[in-house]
Amino acid sequence: MTDNILLEGTCKLVVAMKVFAAVLMALAAVVVAEEPIELDYHIKIGIPRAESLRRAEEAADFDGTRIVGGSAANAGAHPHLAGLVIALTNGRTSICGASLLTNTRSVTAAHCWRTRSAQARQFTLALGTANIFSGGTRVTTSNVQMHGSYNMDTLHNDVAIINHNHVGFTNNIQRINLASGSNNFAGTWAWAAGFGRTSDAASGANNQQKRQVSLQVITNAVCARTFGNNVIIASTLCVDGSNGRSTCSGDSGGPLTIGSGGSRQLIGITSFGSAQGCQRGHPAGFARVTSFNSWIRARI
């Protein structure tokens, strides 16, 4: 009798364990896989973008149509924005963006200087121009300091300071203030600007000039639902990428700002988007400037 009871109990336990295992498998099946971020920036994005922009500018086909869902920006718009023409050690040319902080210092994304597959040897900053390969004030430098904890696999601490020759301020060239404090800016509308593509399929023929787009900041918790907690940390800032509006290929290192005129503040440095493209409706990630305020100030 006792043996029968034990046997029956054992059978029930086995059945319960199988049911529990089935439930776990069912739950695992509905977990959405984390969206991968693009890590091979220069090879997959910067070099092709630079080639298409150069061809378009040489053809003088400037009809002003990079930022997804945004509008063309003239030379005086976002006067803190610098285009970066990047000479890589492999002999190729790439592009990024940067923000002017003082007459001799700018800030960009560390991955614009170095990724696992490419290393820059020189930056040429293009300031006060709507075109990255022509016009405006241009200064060249190889004096770049990446954040000491920059991680090429997660793009954590994706910040770098550019030291360059003195640049005079004009109506089209101005410095920008660094955001400070504990505001996470969630719900705030901000401006992104850059020289990237306007869509995943866009060519250089109608995408030569800098672009701008208004984007809403979202919480890191919402952003982590897409990219996961290994990528999204406290020093990350994200914006909503739905409704066909986002940063896109070639906007890396460029500014995310709030305010206007002399009160304009830099709150983000363009860092990453989905590896699947910029029109997937996923958020875009930035280095959160308030998290790096002290590090940046110590170097300007």
Q: Is residue 156 annotated as a catalytic residue, yes or no?
A: no
Instruction: Dig out the tokens for 98 from the structure.
Output: 């940067």
Q: Which residues make beta-bridge pairs with 237?
A: 286
Catalytic residue (choose from 158, 164, 199, 246): 158
Q: Is 42 a known active-site residue?
A: no
Cβ atoms of 235 and 287 closer than 8 Å: yes
Catalytic residue among 42, 111, 156, 164: 111
Closest among 211, 251, 268, 278 to 95, alpha carbons compared = 251
Neighbours of 104 (CB within 10 A): 16
Given 252, 271, 274, 282, the catalytic residue: 252
The whole-angstrom separation of Cα 57 and Cα 270 is 24
Distance CA 127, CA 134 (A): 10
Cβ contact 251:194 at 8 Å: yes
Among all chains, which residue has been given the structure tokens 């409706």?
281
Q: Is there a contact between 97 and 82 (Cβ–Cβ < 8 Å)?
A: yes
Q: Check if the beta carbon of residue 128 is closer than 8 Å to that of residue 170.
A: yes
216, 188 Cβ separation under 8 angstroms: yes
Q: Is 61 a catalytic residue?
A: no
Structure tokens at 294: 């002290």
At residue 147, φ and ψ (nearest 5 deg) are: -60, 135
Q: Which residues are catalytic?
A: 111, 158, 252
